[in-house]
Amino acid sequence: MSYLVLARKWRPQTFDQVIGQPHVTRTLQNAIKTGRIAHAYLFTGARGVGKTSVARILAKALNCERGTSPVPCNECSNCREISQGNAVDVLEIDGASNRGIDSIRDLRDTVRYRPAKSPYKIYIIDEVHMLTTEAFNALLKTLEEPPAHVLFIFATTEPHKIPGTILSRCQRYDFRRIPTREILAHLSRIAAEEGAGFSESVLFAVAREADGSMRDAQSLMEQLLAFRGEELDDREVLDLLGVVDRETVREAARAVLDRDVRKCLDLVDRLHGRGIDLRRFCQRLCEYFRDLMVLSFGEARGGSWLDLPREERRGLEALVFRTSGEELFSYFQMLVAGEEEIRRSSLPRVALEMLLLRLATLPRLQSLDSVLERLETLVSGAAPTETAERRIRFRAEDRRDMAPRHAPEPVSPSHEPSKHPADLAGRKPEIPAAVPPPLPPEEDEPEGPQVEENDRGEDGALSSAAGMAELLGVSAVVDDWEGFCRWVAGRDQIMGAKLGQSAAVEDPAGVLAIHVLEVYEASVQNGDTERTLREHLSHYFRGKKAAFPIRFSVKKAAIRKPSEAGPRNASPTRLALNHPAVQQAIEVLGGELVEIRPLTSKKKKNG
Ligand SMILES: [Zn+2]
């Protein structure tokens, strides 16, 4: 039982040595100083946070041979016997194994006798919530009229199971989970004292695994010390302990945010090979996304809820900018549900694989503000504001990073980037098909449709002239209009939106007539839109020149008639729903009306 050695060696002997419970130790020390000692104390809190240790220190402080003092001497026979757990006047009782009425009756019999050689007779009852109702009733009689020399210290992890009649007679102290930072500092001290050089990341993983319990942390540390001197890297050490290392968790989070499906599958394969508990891993990933979310929402507002060393924090900060709060929230919800699935699944490996795939292929979500900003830009027909432009460029860069350099293999499907605005509205994520849909052609090798031979003939006469670009026929554009619009949406979101649900026809005069939604009427009637469109056409149709005239017109949407109720009692919601622009926005984005925000007031606020 080498664990006991370390636990005994590092058990706190004075109030000052207790870690993470200053609110308890300070109050107790003050009570001792001022002589206000209660007859019954209740220490509550998770396991391994120091309840029994503090109970013993309190017993020593009261029964020290050098007199009651907030700082026991730890040298006299009373102090030493209490530390060793064999003091005659301090009885430690395990509530779990002495839960019956008989045990408490025996206890009541001894209560009557005065302490043998100390000021107080102290009963420390651990796991007191395990006592039976009869035992509690018997105990209550003693608590109602306690002899002056008797003191009870109850410890429990489940205070809600203790009858109110008992609770009301106790002075209650709630012990907190020990912050990871403080556990880490303590483990570092132990490692230094024991002459073991473990990296901070190993110690942090252990501290985090202990989840606020110093006892668990020390138990893991004890095992860790057994590997001292062996040539093991951090990951091997943690694998031996069954602790998920932080680097792998971070790697998984990065793969999800990068939408790197291949890496996700590879990671699960490695975890499985290393014998890591996959559910444990999923829990750690949940925590990691929780930390990202806190960083994304809270920390920006000056809060501080991250219990992390600086190095760990930097890793989070590097990732948090790759995503949005809305996305993180979706990731987190899926992780929580996924953890449950893994727990129940008979194929945890497959469940984790599917979970990571779902996460990595989650369609990008955008905040309402950014969508509004873009809509305003589109409707006004003005050049995009700097922020909107930057955001759009950022998305475009994302897409370029995501596109595989070579033809993707069937085993690692790469999620097709959102091409249609409807994808932005948060559709249900789908597990990608084994073969990914074709990606838009790369910049350097434009790949238009296979042009029919007769199309070629139509333009043949002109194309034969040296130095002149081949001309594009209107009919070729009309025939492949849908494909062209999809392609545009993949690389130019603004133009893609304008062309969303558009129709193209060739009128008798050889003009390309494009019908767009009414919402874009103003924005397409400027030279910029036409020029950009011509560039896209030329790009898509393999460098052919679009020399034909282009005309934009409005495609009338089926507009709902306002209800028979007059404008007098028309609610803002109904007015908004009846507005053609809103109807079209709902149609384009596939959404529903949730909230109405007047744009004018927003502009005023921005100045
Ligand atoms: Zn002493």
Distance CA 260, CA 238 (A): 26
CA separation (Å) from 415 to 361, 363, 410, 443? 6, 9, 12, 19
Q: What percent of the chain has pLDDT over 70?
A: 75
> What CA–CA distance (Å, rounded) separates 292 from 321?
10
Taking the centre of ligand 1 as the mean of its atom positions, its distance from the CA of residue 15, in whole angstroms, is 14
Q: Residue 449: is its pLDDT beyond 60? A: no
Domain locations in the chain? 11-174, 180-241, 246-360, 453-555, 567-606
- Mean pLDDT computed over 454-470: 45
What integer is the mean pLDDT of 323-347? 90
The pLDDT tens digits of the residues spanning 493-535 come to 788 888 878 889 888 888 899 988 877 877 887 778 888 888 8
In DSSP notation, 427-446 reads PPP-PPPSSPPPPPPPTTS-
pLDDT bin (cut points 50, 70, 90) of residue 467 is very low
Q: How many CB atoms lie within 10 A of CB 468?
A: 10
Say yes or no to pLDDT of 604 above 50: no
Percent of the chain with pLDDT over 90: 37
Quote the ligand 1 centre to 155 CA distance (angstroms).
23
| CB atoms closer than 10 angstroms to residue 579 | 14
Band of pLDDT at residue 398, cut at 50, 70 and 90 = very low
**Three-class DSSP category at 300:** helix
Say which DSSP state 559 is in: P
Domain 180-241 has what CATH class?
mainly alpha
82 CA → ligand 1 middle, Å: 9
> 48 C-alpha to center of ligand 1: Å?
25
Q: Report the pLDDT averaged over residues 226-244.
A: 80
Cα distance between residue 320 and residue 309, in whole Å: 17
Q: Do domains 11-174 and 246-360 have the same CATH topology?
A: no
| Gap from CA of 87 to ligand 1 centroid (Å) | 12
Q: Quickly tell me which residue has 């005023």 as its tokens.
A: 604
283 Cβ contact list (under 8 Å, min separation 6): 339
The fourth-level CATH superfamily of domain 11-174 is: P-loop containing nucleotide triphosphate hydrolases (3.40.50.300)
For the purposes of burial, counting CB atoms within 10 Å of the CB of 149, is it exposed (0-12), middle (13-18) or buried (19 or more)? middle
The CATH homologous superfamily of the domain defined by 453-555:
DnaA, N-terminal domain (3.30.300.180)
**Residues 473-486 pLDDT 10s:** 888 899 889 888 88
Ion ligand 1: residues, CB < 5 A: 64, 72-73, 76, 79
Q: Return the CATH fold of 246-360.
A: Zinc Finger, Delta Prime; domain 3 (1.20.272)
For residue 213, count other CB atoms closer than 10 A to its CB: 19
pLDDT score, position 68? 92
Better pLDDT: 563 or 515: 515
Residue 327 has pLDDT above 80, yes or no: yes
Cβ–Cβ contacts within 10 Å for residue 4, how many? 9
Query: What's the Cα-to-Cα distance from 423 to each of 355, 388, 401, 427, 591, rounded to whole Å?
Result: 20, 18, 19, 6, 11
* Res. 20: pLDDT tops 90: yes
66 alpha carbon to ligand 1 midpoint, in Å? Answer: 6
ipTM of the complex, rounded to two decimals: 0.98
Residue scoring higher pLDDT (58 or 521): 58
Ligand 1: centre distance to CA 67 (Å): 8
